[in-house]
Amino acid sequence: MDTVLKRGTRRWTMLSSKVSNGFRKINLLQINPSVAILKGLNFTLPATPLTDMSDPSSHHPTCVHVNLEAFRHNIRCVRSYCGESVRIMAIVKANAYGHGVVKLCRVAIAEGVEYLGVARAEEALEIRREGIDHPVLVFEITPGNHVAAALSENIELTIAEPGAADAISATAAKLGKSARVHLKVDTGMGRLGLPFASAPAVIEEILRRPHLELVSVYSHFATSEEPDTSFAREQLSRFRQVLDDLGKRRIEVPIRHMANSGAVICMPEAHFEMVRPGIMLYGYPPARNLSEHFPVRPVMSLVSKVSMIKQVEAGTPVSYGRRYVAPRRTFIATVPAGYADGFPRLLTGRASALIRGERYPVAGTICMDHIMVDLGERTGCEVGDEVTLIGKSGAQSITAWDIAGTIGTIPYEITSLIPPRVRRVFKDS
């Protein structure tokens, strides 16, 4: 007899288990060591799980559709801006801006992208665990306890201050290898990097340390997507001065990179040997009204399905706080998607949803797991109809910029905050 469950001093012991007509019949005996047998228990369960997760129909209806062909198109747009001689570092931090990092890394590599860029060592290690052996750079200052793991997996690290150089050099020495490093210069972002005025001398001093292989010197724009490019050009001038000074010190810089999505589109003089597109890969220019010679296409759609429809009378309140009261007899659809699925509660009273190519207002407070939609006095909608919260339905569309503009943020935040509980479904069209 095998013990199958313990709870406190009690043990459940399986006496028998057999399958009959698709059901498993189980006979359990509950034993208390101090009292001997207390009671027996018989019950019947389905022989297979009630939910077969290999069956798409068993999945939760709220999911993200990721259009891989749109992603490929956007990579080609970057190539069109930069030419074939400029390398592309695809920025795939934060789960590829919420889209699904492993799959999109594979697609990007197949499209010829030369580098991957992530924020944290953990993100790079996840990529390596999935068998992706491609150059990847970590942008943050990597904590000392993660340096060895990163270097062991041939992950390239940023040095933004001398202390990081010490830790990386020492760890590389212990591992008996060279660390491939990228030195970051702060030209005006004010976040990470060596101060531009002293950067050449500090870089020269850093490179005296053993076991460091210089791969690149880079910086980051703060305002490259804005109509007034004066500060971006000042940053570029500072970066060029650092590079010139390094040249005078006979320090060869294999790769120079500075261009984010805004500079890819607007500042060809900043492309250097490599560019770092982020949000444009996922289908959005970094500023809403930015003119694009090669327009990108949104990659993500956020969809669910109608789970219930009911008719309510005029004056009926809907959702928390009774913020919405039906102005007339109307049909209300309940949809199992809410702010825990990445549909912000700040949209309350200002959101819409698309069903069968028509736009309907979201009624009442957005809940953690649900929204309600006012379908009007007459409706052809049915339970099971697809509901689009981001994306297209017929001639109608809702973009991440539409949502971001409504609540005063940017599309980066909208896509990145869709949590792991929302399944990603990858499609080629």
Q: What is the pLDDT of residues 219-235, one digit of tens each?
A: 999 999 999 999 999 99
Give tens-digit pLDDT for 200-220. Answer: 999 999 999 999 999 999 999
Q: Comparing 11 with 158, which gets the higher pLDDT?
A: 158
Tokens 């980066």 label which residue?
412
pLDDT value for 280: 98
At residue 46, the pLDDT reads 45
Of 9-13, 163-167, 318-322, 338-342, least confident by mean pLDDT is 9-13
Average pLDDT over residues 87-105: 98
CB proximity list for 100: less than 8 A, separation 6 or greater: 64, 66, 424, 426
Q: What is the pLDDT of residue 415?
A: 98
Asked whether residue 98 carries a pLDDT value surpassing 60, the answer given is yes
d(CA 46, CA 48): 5
Please report the beta strands in 242-299, taking only residues with DSSP state E, as ranges in sequence order.
255-259, 274-275
The pLDDT of residue 161 is 95
Give the C-alpha separation, 234 to 221, whole Å.
Answer: 10
The tens digit of pLDDT for each residue in 278-334 reads 999 999 999 998 889 999 999 999 999 999 999 999 999 999 999 999 999 999 999
Q: CB-based burial of residue 219 (10 Å sphere; 0-12 exposed, 13-18 middle, 19+ buried)?
A: buried
Say whether pLDDT at 38 is over 60: no
* pLDDT interval class at 18 (50, 70, 90): low
In the chain, domain spans: 2-46, 67-282, 300-398
At residue 50, the pLDDT reads 44
Tokens 């971001």 found at? 404
Domain 67-282 grouped into CATH 3.20.20.10:
yes
User: Among positive and negative, which fits the CA dihedral 153, 159, 164, 168?
Assistant: positive
User: What pLDDT does 27 receive?
Assistant: 52
Instruction: Find the mean pLDDT for residues 61-83.
Output: 98
Q: Above 60 in pLDDT, residue 157? A: yes
Give 54's pLDDT tier (boundaries 50, 70, 90): low
Single-letter code of the amino acid located at 34: S
Max CA pair span of the chain: 88
Q: Smallest Cα–Cα separation from 42: which of 33, 32, 52, 29? A: 29
> Phi then psi for 15, rounded to 5 degrees?
-90, -35
Return the SS3 of 173. Answer: helix
Q: What is the mean pLDDT of residues 143-148?
A: 94
Q: Active-site residue numbers?
A: 93, 320
Rounded distance, CA 319 to CA 222, Å? 41
Q: Which CATH architecture has domain 300-398?
A: Beta Barrel (2.40)
Higher pLDDT, 376 or 26: 376
pLDDT in tens, 384-427: 999 999 999 999 999 999 999 999 999 999 999 999 999 999 99
| pLDDT band at residue 51 using 50, 70 and 90 as cut-offs | very low
| pLDDT, mean over the chain | 90
- Specify the pTM: 0.86
* Amino acid (one-letter) located at 74: N
Q: How confident is the model at residue 47 (pLDDT cuts 50, 70, 90)?
A: very low
* 423 DSSP 8-state letter: E
pLDDT of residue 57: 64
Q: What is the mean pLDDT of residues 3-24?
A: 46
